[in-house]
Amino acid sequence: MALRLLDQLNLPEDLKLLSSEEAYKVAAELRDELITTVSKTGGHLGPNLGVVELTLALHMELDSPKDKLIWDVSHQSYVHKLLTGRLKQFHTLRQFNGISGFVRRDESEHDIFGAGHSSTSISAALGMAIARDHAGEDYLVVAVIGDGSMGGGMAFEALNNAGQMKRDLIVVLNDNEMSISANVGALSSYLGRLRTDPTILRIRSELELALKRIPAIGPHVAKTADKFKEALKHLVVPGMLFEELGFTYIGPIDGHNIAAIRRGIQDAKARGGPVLLHVVTKKGKGYEPAEDNPEKFHGTGPFEIETGKPVRKTRGQTYTSVFGRAVVDCASKDEKIVAICAAMPDGTGLDYFKERFPERFFDVGIAEQHAVTMAAGLAASGYRPVVAIYSTFLQRAYDQILHD
């Protein structure tokens, strides 16, 4: 059996030496490794297949662990683990005494910040950027956050603060239109407009080129030109949300084009200050069953590679399915019952309710705090809200449970 290119590299240092053709060969080998291993151990397959090229490009441009690479949630960090000294141990993923399914600071010096839930990466990255500046050190700080996690309140708090502080910081927005289930909310719609409107980048780039050709005829004209460009930018891109928060916005970029991502990172480094790099990826990329059913393969048990079917089927009813059907039964007798979840209708069993009573079902996205207090508002108004959230994620809303 021919030795893989992946096995011949001193990782992550040798990634910088790869040609474009070799980089894509490594990407294909990484996907094979992910599918082969997760088919046996289970795990978060879809999110990791979607960030293969992005992770490669990041490690080709960064100098980890000197540069700080922070993964939001971190269930999409398998490729990062493969590229940072854990290739030979990867078969132990999620096994006793094996590799963790999330980043762990005690597992590797490349795992900069531990995470198991969403929306923390920008806050942590800003803290590290402040520490760097206070210590007079010189390194990059990069946070990778998904579009689902970006909808969490903590991410907005961090964006707001980081934009005001003007520290050198790169936020990579991995936009795959999914969290666990399909994303909801105004931010998702906003990113959709950025993602699908081909005129945005063309008009912006053409405008900047035209302005550069204006002869230098005094600071007043230059200032007027900048104001004109800014005004037109607001017309072309509704709201310019991230730039209004103090970030330089770059994108959207094809998240499976390694060269394009590398250019985006280089541009972000050259600009300085807080920069948001918008990268569009496909969840489950490269494995047809995962591309066709990204929710099922977000987190999966062992499965047959050829078909994508689970190796072991659950026998009988699960607690989740019994709960979901019971809520539907109660709601059919009481019109005041409504159901709320935080981006997980299938995982919580509320998919039954969503199908039967769509007008009484509310998915608020990854926003547990908001879900609980919104439910309190409904209860105070005479309704009977049922809020279904995993116990580990409900930690985010302890204060709201106690207070509201």
368 catalytic? Reply is yes
Rounded to whole angstroms, how far apart are CA atoms 80 and 120?
Answer: 18
Rounded to whole angstroms, how far apart are CA atoms 75 and 45?
Answer: 9
Rounded to whole angstroms, how far apart are CA atoms 166 and 129?
Answer: 10
Rounded to whole angstroms, how far apart are CA atoms 13 and 351?
Answer: 46
Strand partners, 249: 276
Tokens of 300: 């999966």
Rounded to whole angstroms, how far apart are CA atoms 335 and 357?
Answer: 10
Largest CA-CA distance found in the chain, in angstroms, rounded: 78
Catalytic, out of 53, 61, 177, 368: 368
| Separation of first and last alpha carbons in the chain | 62
Rg of the chain, C-alpha, whole Å: 23
271 catalytic? Reply is no
- In which element (H, E) is residue 68 found? strand 68-71
Catalytic, out of 86, 283, 285, 354: 283
Tokens of 215: 């002869």
Phi, psi (deg, nearest 5) at residue 335: -70, -10
Rounded to whole angstroms, how far apart are CA atoms 15 and 252?
Answer: 24
Angle between helix 121-135 and 153-165 (nearest 10): 30
25 catalytic? Reply is no
Rounded to whole angstroms, how far apart are CA atoms 146 and 76?
Answer: 10
In the numeric block, the tokens 């999620």 are attached to 94
| CA-closest candidate to residue 179, choices 170, 187, 171, 169 | 187
Is the distance from CB of 70 to CB of 112 less than 8 angstroms? yes
- Edge-first strand listing for the sheet containing 169-175: 68-71, 141-146, 169-175, 274-280, 248-254
Is the distance from CB of 100 to CB of 175 less than 8 angstroms? no
| CA-closest candidate to residue 33, choices 71, 79, 101, 74 | 79
Residues with catalytic function: 283, 368, 396
